[in-house]
Chain A
Amino acid sequence: MSNATQPPPAAPAGRLVVPPGARSTGDRAARALARAGTGAAVLIPVALIAVLACQSATAPGGPGEGLGRLLAWTLCAATAAVAAGLPVGVGAALFAARFAPRRARRALGTVIDLLAAVPAVAYLLLAQGLVNPAGGDVDRAVLAGLVLMAAIVPTIASLSHGVFAQVPFGRMEASLALGATRWEMVRQVVLPFSARTLRSTAALALSRALSEALTLAALFGGVRPDRLTWPGDGSRSGLWRLLLSGGGLGPFALAAFAVAFAVLAVGLAARALTARRPRGRPRRERAGRPDSAGRGVGAPLAGGRLPGWSGAVLAPACLLVVVLLEALAGAAGLTGTLVGWAFAYLLAHLLVVWAVEGSRSAADTGCRDLCAVAFALTVLPLVSLLVRAVLGAVASPAVFSSAPVLTAVGGTLATIAAATVVSVPVGLACAVWSTEYAGRRGARVVASLADAAVSVPPLTAGLGALAFFGLLAGPAQVPGRAAAGVALCALMIPYIVRGATQMLDLVPPALREQALALGAATWSVILRVQLATASAGLVQAVVLALSRAVGAASLMLVVSGSAPGPTPGSLPGWIVDRFASGADGLWAGVAWLVVIVVALELAGRVIPARHGPRNNP
């Protein structure tokens, strides 16, 4: 037992108890960064709304004469559009997520997300096509409602598609294994699972609709209680006049502020209402017709099914009937024939299924067909827009690549890039704070605020930015692009916070425990485990936030398109300008806008795929 065989005394390990001030620099920096990000994330939207509020309250002219009517029209139009658009959007999402053939589902899901990213400005143009040929005597209120629907249905569809795609596979399987048809499975599992999110989706759609309704009112001039005057003074100066009257904010801005307040209140109330735990409700027994389709002992498995060739017989037969009817009535027209054919086929198919396969099967078929129709309706505006944009661009290729358009494209891209550079770090830091440092209550507060902020009408953010820069530089010198950038930040940050928090919550707790057990410092766990594991999801969340924000680009239109300050050069502004003046190059602008949106969306699909571990396929 000499000293030589004994191990040398271990070097004194680092002290176990550390005074609070002596934590590692990395940890302190991480915490400070997260806190700063959270502060900024809360501050930016709040500041914009506060500025708008102050400006509205101190507006010299007081509430303008049109305020009441403007508000009433906006609320009615938006509510009607949401009421009509909700079933269509949800149906389209259901079709893409559950009813479509399995191979097609992925592609259809992409199409739906793409739809939500197309700026609503583009849909406004469809109205032009609808108005002009009709000679201007269509009911304009109805028309405005349709445009509004075209603008918000994709948002609804995209949000609900996201929920439907998250329904746990095991539950759907369990329902099918009990002998449910696809529709019954949807009713039993998918809809209850999504009910809560669908309600907040409706709130979000309402805010989007309010925002777009105000934009519509601004674009097309004076508003009367029953109908929109169409097409009014849509020039930039007209828009500007609506925003500012007599040096202060006009009735338009006041309306936007009131709407934002209402939406915030509704959103918070809805959240409080839906935060309850889902409970099993005792259900009333249904006394339906006993299932005729062979239930019980020894029932045959086969038979009572429509053979595969039934469609091939039904479709031409229906076409024949429709054509004959049209010939008898003396009416003809390709669109009418096609619509009639589709209608007749769906009806005949439903009836035949009912007769042959029974009521359950008929319900299944009927719901699938309805959802398919909803999907078609949702996609129709985009398709027609694409066709016209492509045709327009082909017709005048020179305009497509002319200097003014390219300037506008560059301006838009620069605005988007600047907003991304600012809001991504801020949003991520806020998400990290909420998942790592905030504790349960803090996390809930952040989540509530983000949810409420997401549903603030985009237009309000835009006007807030305008008012803010108006204070700084004077109403005549507002730098439109900077204001648009700030507004875009205010829109993106809540989306990023929401998405990133969800993604970080998905990281298995076992991973961080393991890392901490290995002796890693908090900041390194956050960076190397949490953020690294969630990276794919985080990229996706950022891109989704970006495309949603760009989709809600009415604010960019109003802000950068209408400011009299020294900044032309945004695509929505360009589009409105051409729309109002009737000059060449309208469709070139739309085509560019669509190209940008599609590129963003594709980036959101491709980048996460080669980044970090996959989330579930």
Chain B
Amino acid sequence: MARRVELRHLSARYGALTAVQDVSMTIEPRSVTAFIGPSGCGKSTMLRAMNRMLEVIPNARVEGRVLLDGTNIYGRMVDPVRVRRTVGMVYQQPNPFPTMSIRDNVLAGVHLTNRRLGRAEADTVVETCLRGTNLWEEVRERLDEPATGLSGGQQRRLCIARAVAVEPEVLLLDEPCSALDPISTQTIEELIGRLREDRTVVIVTHNMRQAARVSERTAFFSTDGPGTPGRLVEYDDTATLFSNPRHQQTEDYITGRLG
């Protein structure tokens, strides 16, 4: 069920500004990969490029290829809708649909696929997904209330549950734990650990300890200065990258001398 993701000479531009230049890497299936690096070096842009969400932004352009088990997702015959269903994504800012209840938010993606789903089955999906994000106990009594009534941390977990309910084979998480308390953070890290068993997971994080805790591989992105495009500096096993970085820039960043 998990897929291998390969980036081949991937560059992303916003109008005349090149955000990321020439990134090539291979992300193995059934693993967690962490993207770290200073703000503005294109980590989130890379995530968006990996499920064709970048083209939704006006002026954004992608060059290069992203191979999903060998299929280029930017190929001419590829349906972006299918790509996005296969490669799920959770955004940095929680964005539950304000017109829907908590339950409908979890089922939002499922409803789209016209799956035959009885009431009981839908209940099961909702409960499984909410339990997986440790939200079930908190919201089980008010599933039919608007999702906007939840706290920030709860909204974020709801958005993860919503993405998981579609059963994507690759899951991209953009700073899933920023501004969360340690308990919620731990819950989400456990969830990531479970997701890894049958999925490919990529997370962007500013928390290097988190990267060390949850990921097998870590990619360090950086820029050569303000206004220059971001690039992939180093990509290695997490243990190696944190204990024995090959590049000076990486070492400066992880030891706190930079950024």
Contact = CB atoms under 8 A, between A and B. Distances in A.
Interface of A: 102, 168, 170-181, 184, 188-189, 192-193, 195, 277-283, 285-291, 293-305, 307-308, 357, 359-361
B113 A177 contact: no
A294 B108 CA distance: 19
A361 B81 CA distance: 9
Contacts of A173: 53, 56, 91, 95
Contacts of B117: 285-287
B116 A179 contact: no
Contact of B51 (A177, A188, A295, A297): A177
Contact of A178 (B73, B101, B112): B112
A280 B99 contact: yes
B93 interface: yes
A301 B73 contact: yes
B122 interface: yes
B13 to A, nearest CB: 15
B100 A280 contact: yes
Given A170-B91, A289-B114, A308 B76 contact: yes
B20 interface: no
Task: Give 5 closest A-B pairs by Cβ, nearest first.
Answer: A280-B101, A179-B85, A192-B99, A178-B109, A288-B114
A301 B167 CA distance: 15
Contacts of A294: 82
14 contacts: A178-B162, A179-B85, A179-B113, A192-B99, A192-B100, A282-B104, A294-B82, A295-B113, A301-B71, A301-B86, A302-B71, A302-B77, A305-B78, A361-B81
Most chain A CB within a 10 A radius of its CB, from B1, B95, B104, B122 = B95
B116 A290 contact: yes
Most chain A CB within a 10 A radius of its CB, from B73, B75, B82 = B82
Nearest to B111: A286
B89 interface: yes
A294 B100 CA distance: 27
A217 B77 CA distance: 57
A293 B113 CA distance: 9
B83 interface: yes
A282 B101 contact: yes
B211 interface: no
A354 to B, nearest CB: 14
Contacts of A302: 71, 75, 77-79
Contacts of A293: 79, 82
Nearest to A363: B114
Given A178-B112, A180-B112, A285-B118, A297 B169 contact: yes
A280 B145 contact: yes
B147 interface: yes
Contact of B95 (A174, A278, A283, A285): A174
A176 B84 contact: yes
Contacts, number: 152
Contact of B122 (A175, A281, A285, A304): A285
Nearest to A105: B58
Contacts of A277: 146
A287 B82 contact: no
Contacts of B104: 280-283
B17 to A, nearest CB: 14
A598 B145 CA distance: 47
A288 B112 CA distance: 10
Contacts of A308: 76
Interface residues on B, range: 35 or more
Contacts of B89: 177
B171 to A, nearest CB: 11
Given A178-B166, A287-B116, A170 B99 contact: no
A305 B51 CA distance: 18
Given A174-B91, A178-B162, A184-B112, A305 B97 contact: no
Contacts of A298: 1, 169
B111 to A, nearest CB: 7
B34 interface: no
Contacts of A180: 81, 84, 109, 112
Nearest to A179: B85
Nearest to A308: B76
A280 B147 contact: yes
Contact of A170 (B95, B109, B112): B95
B119 interface: yes
A291 B98 CA distance: 26
B142 to A, nearest CB: 10
A291 B115 CA distance: 6
A177 B88 contact: yes
Contacts of B144: 280, 282
Nearest to A182: B81
B68 interface: yes
B163 interface: yes
Nearest to A168: B95
Nearest to A177: B89
Contacts of A174: 91, 95, 97, 159
Contact of A295 (B102, B108, B115): B115
B205 to A, nearest CB: 19
A288 B111 CA distance: 9
B196 interface: no
Contacts of A188: 97, 108, 112
B233 to A, nearest CB: 28
Nearest to B53: A177
A302 B80 CA distance: 9
Contacts of A282: 101, 103-104, 144
A361 B85 CA distance: 14
Given A291-B113, A297-B169, A179 B145 contact: no
Nearest to B68: A301
A302 B78 CA distance: 4
A173 B81 CA distance: 12
Contacts of B78: 301-302, 305
Interface string B41-52: 000000000010
A91 to B, nearest CB: 21
Contacts of B101: 279-282
Interface string B26-66: 00000000000000000000000001010010100000000
Given A173-B91, A280-B102, A302-B78, A295 B85 contact: yes
Interface in B211-259: none
Given A282-B104, A288-B114, 4 more contacts: A102-B58, A168-B95, A171-B95, A177-B88
A326 B104 CA distance: 51
Given A177-B84, A278-B99, A286 B114 contact: yes
Contacts of A303: 77
Contacts of A291: 113-115
A290 to B, nearest CB: 5
B29 to A, nearest CB: 11
Nearest to A181: B81
Nearest to A170: B95
Nearest to A300: B71
B220 to A, nearest CB: 25
Nearest to B1: A297
A212 B46 CA distance: 54
A151 B81 CA distance: 38
Most chain A CB within a 10 A radius of its CB, from B68, B84, B85, B100 = B85
B255 to A, nearest CB: 35
Contacts of B166: 178-179
A287 B115 CA distance: 7
Contacts of B162: 178
Contacts of A360: 81, 112, 114
A189 B56 CA distance: 15
